[in-house]
Amino acid sequence: MDFAPTREQEMLRDMVRAFAESELAPNALSFDEKGEFPFEALKKAAKLGLVGIINSKEYGGSDMGHLARMIMIEEISRVYPPLGFYFQTGQIGMYGLQNFGSDEQKKKYLPPLCQGDTVMAWALTEATGGSDASTLQTTAELVGDEYNVNGRKVFITAGETADVVGFVAKAGDGTNLLLVEKGTPGFTTPRREGRLGLGSIPVSELAFTNCRIPKENLVGQEGRGVRLALAGIGAVGRPGAAAVSLGIAQGAYEVTLRFAKERNLYGKPIVQLQAVQFALVNMNVEIEAARWLCYYTGWLLDQGKSPGEIGSDIARAKLYATDVANKVCLKAAEIMGGYGLIPEYQLVRRLRDALEMLPAAGAQDVQRVIIGGAIAR
Amino acid sequence: MSLNIIVCIKQVPHPEHFSRITLDPIRQTISREGIPAVINPPDLHALEEALRIREEFSGKVTAISMGPPQAKCALEEALAIGADDAVLLCDKSFAGADTLATAYSLACGIKKLGRFGLILCGNETIDSGTGQVGPQLAEFLDIPHVTSVIQIAFEQGSSLIVKQALEEGYMKVRVKLPAMLAVAKGINQPRLPTVWAIMEAGSKEMQIWGASDIGATQDMIGLEGSPTHVTGIFERDTTRRREILEGPPRQIAKKAVNRLHELITT
Amino acid sequence: MNEVWVIAEQRVGKLMNVSFELLGKGTELARQLKVGLAAVLLGDRVRALTRQLVCYGADRVYVGEDPRLRFYQSEVYADLVAKLVDTHKPGIVLIGATSIGRDLAPRIAAKLKTGLTAHCVELRIVNEDTEKPQLVQVVPGWGGNLMVNIACPVRRPQIATVSPGVMTKCDWEEREGEIITLAVDVQQELRVETLEMVHEESTGAALEEAEVVVAGGWGLLSAGGFELVEELAKVLGGAVAGTRPAVDSGWIPEHRMVGQSGKTVSPKLFISVGASGAPQFTAGFLKAKVVLAIDQNPNAPIFDVADIGLVGDLCDILPCLVTELKETGLRS
């Protein structure tokens, strides 16, 4: 087993870190406070090859793979988690297109997405449930050459700004994975919901009212919608969420460590007080453990394992990294005292973002269901 | 018009970690153990400028560095950013070189590379900050040089009009190619390597040359070829002095200004 | 032979201050070595300036004039100086580390295959009574955390550049000196030629690049405002900054806030005015070379992280500081 990062992986990390520090760090607080998602930075990230990192070069991607993607999302989330979170959902659709889409669909949608000229959203969740896909209510009825879509999706990241949305609807006896473009008559993004964390990400409902989409917008085979969706969530959404949580934990840890080295109490920096130091040590250990669970997941995917084969590994990464992120942020707030809860200390936003990761890509207990299912058999 | 451009880069300790560089006062040696290394930031501006010129005029950009084996990483990064190929001048006998010996070694390496139109480097390094290697390199190669360059424009034929920064303003300078230009920070915004370029860097050519490969004579390189030597290194006392002055405002203002002058200029 | 030389610098007919400062140091070194002090001056119609060089300490001035040397011409200047040095063989050559000096000095050193040490903060002679006295050249290393002593034991001359503001010029003394005219005739086509020199007022430096930063805090509220801070910054040629309360009061924009959630600065001089010294503020200037704090509360924590502290009413102290600085001139 060779655990050493390759030169390319090191250079990737350095590049994404430099990108995050220069494009995201200076305005992280104000992105959240003003609710302004850094779409400009997203576009620059695309030009650097980060958006299409798991897409093939043939369609404009950079094809560096899933482990590279984990590193990238970690580094971005270390500085500004909402952008990392965007990658988590935005790349699900791109994975779906890459692996299940037709040649025409790939040629049409992937290059502009990889260049950052367009943005894609992913819509599975409905009011009746996200984790239980059998409760889908949105329908897509084939009428001639078109699907007539009716229904509503909730908690959709970038739903109102996306140029194209990948979504799942009931069709006949099964479900279909379909694409709808912005501006299609009958497709609206009626309400933007407020949230606790991931501050600047535009989140909305999607409403389909007799929305007609061409049948060419079916991705993959008829009836396979939910299975393809779960593959995408498994390969991209869930590992991505794990990497976001990892980045949040790392960022919060660094903020607290720096504070502990500068803050003097009882005649010395508090990092020299054993209780504080041990708390930081615990963070250090847990983040490192989370890191390897995350990277292992990426590595397995790069080895060609299907998300179904490695469901437990993926679930472990999301479950553990997210728990660690929340623990770290809470403890960090304790260590930093009153300052920990002042926004300008850059911890509060991370604490909020960590909470948002709990339901993302499957609630924590859903991850347990997956692993439990495997061990209890 | 196609131009062969050579960019001189140096690998230096990451500036954020300077305070971790330790001194062994007895053996008088610096320890850079465990401190990450980066491309000297001003050299990134030189590389960026070279790439822009190549984009406009076509040609080749070669990155060259004199350093220990780990300097390979800096050259790999230069390749990932966009250089076409790279050369590392690496030899035990290069060690201990001051700027003159370094300039001589680089000149030998550059001569081996063949014809070039332009050499670019950063105006100074962030670790030693002398700014001397560029002009000295130009002297060994018998080409004109300009330092503190903040803008480069091509005239027709093979000459450039450059802006050389002064403390308040600039000089407009015409320089004939081949020439050496040392560029200052304000000249451009260096690009980051893209994922595509990072993955291609490994397949670009990187050569490693020793002293005999480049025809460098022993008495001109390394410690032997260095007219200047370090004779002692001391830690600077960085604790704050806490000299509190109270009293009539005029008096303490006067004392403060005198003290400031002393403290700032040491 | 073995003299101390200063390569003086003039721009558009005006001598740079650093040349006088180096003559001041040169006088001291020459006295120790019991040798003469000479200056070299190049330009177009600059003869009248040689008087100043003599009255600030030069025993002799070599002056070279040519219409084509009106501006700094790197190849010609380097050639002339190197040949002159090679002929007369001074032991020490000092050059001001201005943008021009930093362009010229390395080329000269390379022509003479001798040692050059840049940005010296201290120069002293050792082994002065021996056959080969040494100039010890002290420079800051690694961002200023370490001081390095450098020597050029064998080759001559020993060349050192020194930044403006480091050395002190002597008092003006009416004296006579030897003026030697160099034969200069610039006929050749120049490979590198300065065509024009353009003066521009330096626009307010970015906070992180400024050599002097003056930051104001809450205490200015009762002092009637930020003008005191701005004036102090102006007289020092420094950048204006502030604490979070200063931003909240609208005195400075967000991007001029220093501190943990603002900018981190490492200037040569950081002045804190009316800020009590909360950790989120002081974290922003830990690496400043010198810290001056002014506050009315003698127990304010800001004084723990300052080199010099002034206690008293801001309204009284600041104007005095400004006046004193105007009179003595502490521009870096």
Q: Quick check: A108 pLDDT over 70?
A: yes
The answer as to whether A43 is a domain residue is yes
CATH number at residue A163: 2.40.110.10
Cα–Cα dist B257/A367, whole Å: 66
Q: Is B223 on the interface with C (CB under 8 A)?
A: no
Residue of B nearest to C78 (CA): B139
C252: CATH: 3.40.50.1220
Last residue of a domain, one of A118, A151, A177: A118
Contacting subunits of C (3+ beta carbon pairs below 8 A): A, B
Residue C211 — very low, low, confident or very high, per pLDDT cuts 50/70/90? confident
Which residue of B lies nearest to A53 if distances are taken between CA atoms?
B195
ipTM, 2 dp: 0.93
Instruction: Establish if A262 touches chain C: CB-CB under 8 angstroms.
Output: yes
Give chain A's mean pLDDT.
Answer: 93
Residue of C nearest to B141 (CA): C110
Per-residue pLDDT, C144: 62
Q: Which residues contact A164 (CB under 8 A, 6 or more apart)?
A: A93, A109, A113, A118, A120, A121, A179, A180, A181, A182
∠ CA C144-C150-C154, rounded to 5°: 165
Domain count, chain C: 2
Q: Which pair of structure tokens corresponds to residue B136?
A: 């000295």
- pLDDT band at B128; cut points 50, 70, 90: confident
Cα C43 versus chain centre, distance: 22
B77 CB within 8 Å of a chain A CB: yes
How far apart are alpha carbons C298 and C280 in whole angstroms? 20
Whether residues C102 and B148 touch (CB distance < 8 A) is answered with yes
Residue A288's contacts (CB-CB under 8 Å, 6 or more residues apart) are none
Closest chain A CA to residue B196: A62
**Mean pLDDT, residues C22-27:** 97
Contacts of residue C12, Cβ cutoff 8 Å, sequence gap at least 6: C197
pLDDT band at residue A182, thresholds of 50, 70 and 90? very high
d(CA B134, CA B225): 17
Q: Is residue C139 located within the same domain as residue C75? A: yes
Q: Give the domain CATH number at A270.
A: 1.20.140.10
Mark residue C291 as left, alpha or beta (left: phi above 0; alpha: psi -120 to 50; beta: remaining). Answer: beta
Q: Do A49 and B202 touch (CB under 8 A)?
A: no
Six-digit token pair at B18? 């300077």
Measured N-to-C along each axis, helices C314-328 and C227-236 cross at an angle, to the nearest 10 degrees, of 20
Domain membership of residue C52 (yes or no) is yes
Q: Does residue C45 sit in the same domain as residue C174?
A: yes
Helices (H) and strands (E) in chain C — how many of each? Answer: 8, 18
Residue C139 within any structural domain of the chain: yes
Give me the residue label for tokens 């290069």: B94
CA contacts within 13 A on the Cβ side of C136:
13
Model confidence over A314-334: pLDDT tens digits?
999 999 999 999 999 999 999
Residue C279 to residue A344, Cβ atoms within 8 A: no
- The pLDDT assigned to A367 comes to 95
Domain membership flag for residue C202: no
Q: Which residues of C touch B228 (CB under 8 A)?
A: 115-117, 150-152
My answer on whether C102 and C217 are in the same domain is no
Residue C96, domain CATH: 3.40.50.620
- Distances from the Cα of B71 to the Cα of A20, A358, B9, B45, C164, angstroms: 25, 44, 10, 18, 34
C269:B264 CB<8 A: yes
Residues of C with CB below 8 A from A31's CB?
Answer: none
Which pLDDT belongs to residue C200? 85
> Residue A314 contacts by C-beta under 8 Å, 6 or more apart in sequence?
A234, A235, A238, A239, A242, A297, A307
- DSSP 3-state assignment of B156? coil
Specify whether A166 is located in the same domain as A239: no
Partner C contacted by B132 (CB < 8 A): yes
CB–CB contact B146 C192 (8 Å): yes
Do you find a cis peptide bond into C157, omega within 30 degrees of 0? yes
Q: What is the CATH number of the domain that holds A11?
A: 1.10.540.10
In contact, A283 and A271? CB cutoff 8 Å: no
Residue C143: the pLDDT is 61
Chain A residues near residue C244 by CB distance under 8 angstroms: 344
Q: Are residues C294 and C168 in the same domain?
A: no
Nearest to C280 among A29, A264, A339 (CB): A339
Q: How far apart are CA C18 and CA A292, in angstroms?
A: 58
| CB proximity under 8 Å: B 179-198 to A | 192-196, 198
Domain around A351: 226-375
CA C300 to chain centre: 33
Q: Across chain C, what does the average pLDDT equal?
A: 90
Which of A154, A189, A224 is the last residue before a domain boundary?
Answer: A224
Nearest to B11, CA basis, from B51, B63, B70:
B70
- B137 close to B156: Cβ distance less than 8 angstroms: no
Q: With bands split at pLDDT 50, 70 and 90, how would you rate the model's confidence at C145?
A: low
Pairing type for strands C239-242 and B205-209 reads unpaired
B32 to chain C: closest CA residue: C142
Token match 């721009």: residue?
C11
Whether C99 sits inside 8 A of B165 (CB atoms) is yes
Question: pLDDT tens across C253-273, in order?
Answer: 877 889 866 788 888 899 999
**CA-derived radius of gyration, chain C:** 23
Q: Which of A19, A53, A68 shows the shortest C-beta gap to B192?
A: A19
Mutate to test the interface with A, among C260, C285, C287, C302 (most CBs of A within 10 A): C260
Tally Cβ neighbours within 10 Å of residue C266: 16
Residues paired with A179 in a beta bridge? A166
Of A15, A19, A47, the CB nearest to B198: A15
C279 contacts chain A (CB < 8 A): yes
Rounded to whole angstroms, the Cα distance separating C147 from C121 reads 9
Q: Would an 8 Å CB–CB cutoff place C261 in contact with chain A?
A: yes
Do A206 and A150 lie in one domain? The reply is yes
pLDDT mean over C40-52: 96
In a domain? residue A2 = no
The stretch C275-304 carries a mean pLDDT of 86
Distance from CA of C183 to the nearest CA of B (A): 23
Does any CB of chain A come closer than 8 Å to the CB of residue C283? yes
Quote the DSSP letter at residue A224: B
Give the range among A224-238, A260-274, C13-27, C34-48 with minimum mean pLDDT. A260-274
Contact with chain C for residue B19, Cβ under 8 A = yes
Instruction: Find the chain A residues whose C-beta atoms sit closer than 8 A to any C-beta of B.
Output: 7-8, 11-12, 14-15, 18-19, 47-50, 53, 57, 62, 64, 68
Give how many domains chain A has, as a whole number: 3
* Whether residue A348 sits in one domain with residue A328: yes
Considering Cα of C7, then C11, then C13, then C16, what sign does the dihedral take? negative
For the beta carbon of residue C45, count every other beta carbon within 10 angstroms: 12
In this structure, the answer to whether residues C160 and C15 fall within a common structural domain is yes
* Mean predicted confidence (pLDDT) in B53-76: 95
**pLDDT value at B180 more than 70:** yes
pLDDT value for B161: 97
Residue A130: band (very low, low, confident or very high) from pLDDT cuts 50, 70, 90: low
Phi, psi values for residue C240, rounded to 5°: -90, 135
C244 and A339 Cβ atoms separated by less than 8 Å: no
Neighbours of C301 (CB within 10 A): 18
| Residue-range domains of chain B with CATH | 3-220 (3.40.50.620)
Per residue in B6-47, pLDDT (tens digit) is 999 999 998 777 767 777 777 777 777 788 899 999 999 999
Amino acid at A306: S
Residues in A touching C280 (Cβ below 8 Å): 339, 344-345
Query: Which phi and psi (to 5°) does residue C187 adopt?
Result: -105, -25
> Which of A213, A206, A172, A208 minimizes the C-alpha distance to A191?
A206
- In sign, the C-alpha dihedral spanning A169, A174, A178, A183 is negative
CB atoms within 10 A of CB A149: 25
List of residues 6+ apart from A302 with CB closer than 8 A:
A65, A66, A67
Q: Are A78 and A244 in contact (CB under 8 A)?
A: no
Closest approach of chain C CAs to the CA of B151, in angstroms?
A: 14
What CA–CA distance (Å, rounded) separates C259 from C262? 5
Q: Examine the domain organization and report whether A269 and A343 are in the same domain.
A: yes
Asked if A47's CB is within 8 angstroms of B195's CB, the reply is no
Chain C residues close to A29, C-beta within 8 Å? 261
Looking at the fold, whether C89 and C165 belong to one and the same domain comes out as: yes
| Residue C190 within any structural domain of the chain | no
Does some domain include residue A174? yes
Residues C280, A29: C-beta atoms closer than 8 Å: no
Q: Are C115 and C18 members of one domain?
A: yes
Nearest to B146 by CA among B72, B46, B1, B243: B46
Q: Which two tokens stand for residue A51?
A: 């958006």
Between CA A17 and CA B197 the distance in angstroms is: 17
Helix/strand/coil for C326? helix
DSSP C95: E
What's the confidence (pLDDT) of residue C223? Answer: 65
Residues in chain C within 8 Å Cβ distance of A344? 244, 260-261, 280
Pick from C244, C279, C286: which is nearest to A263 by CB? C279
pLDDT of B258 > 70? The answer is yes
Interchain contact, A48 vs B194, CB within 8 Å: yes
Q: What is the pLDDT of residues C111-136, one digit of tens each?
A: 999 999 998 989 999 988 888 899 99
Range of weakest confidence among A149-153, A169-173, B202-206, B217-221: A169-173
CB neighbours of C196 closer than 8 A, spacing ≥ 6? B171, B172, C71
Structural domain that includes position C148: 4-182
Task: Enumerate residues 6+ apart whose C-beta is below 8 A from B146.
Answer: B162, B164, B173, B175, B179, B180, B181, B182, C74, C103, C192
Separation CA B68–CA A5 (nearest Å): 21
Is the pLDDT at C213 greater than 80? The verdict is: yes
- A62 to chain B: nearest residue by CA? B196
Neighboring chain C residues of A259 at a CB cutoff of 8 Å: 260
Final residue before a domain boundary, out of A207, A224, A241: A224
- How many beta carbons lie within 10 A of that of residue C291, not counting itself? 24
Would residue A223 be called left, alpha or beta, if left means φ above 0 and alpha means ψ between -120 and 50 degrees?
A: left
Cβ atoms of C216 and C246 within 8 Å: the answer is: yes
Same domain, C122 and C225: no
| Same domain? A135 vs A46 | no
Please report which helix (H) or strand (E) contains residue A292, including its range: helix A274-302
Angle at A17 between CA A16 and CA A19, to 5 degrees: 60
- How far apart CA A3 and CA C327 sit, in angstroms, is 65
CA angle B108, B112, B113 (to 5 degrees): 120
Torsion of CA B179, B185, B186, B187, to 10 degrees: 30
Least confident stretch, A176-180, B15-19, B101-105, B249-253 = B15-19
Alpha-carbon gap: A337 to the closest alpha carbon of chain C (Å): 13
My answer on whether C262 and C138 are in the same domain is no
Domain assignment of residue C301, yes or no: yes
Residues A271 and A361 in one domain: yes
Judge if A108 and A173 occupy the same domain.
no
Same domain, A309 and A173: no
**Nearest Cα to Cα of residue C241 among C281, C207, C268:** C207
More confident residue, C219 or A84: A84
Contact C260 A345 (CB under 8 A): yes
Of A123-132, A249-258, C99-108, the one with minimum mean pLDDT is A123-132
| Residue C9 shares a structural domain with residue C133 | yes
- Of the candidates A263, A264, A345, the beta carbon closest to that of C261 is on A345
Q: Are A237 and A293 part of one and the same domain?
A: yes
Instruction: State residue C331's pLDDT score.
Output: 56
On whether residue A1 sits in a domain, the answer given is no
Same domain for C95 and C163?
A: yes
What subunits touch chain B, counting only 3 or more CB pairs under 8 A? Answer: A, C
C199 domain-assigned: no
Q: Does the residue A97 lie in any domain?
A: yes
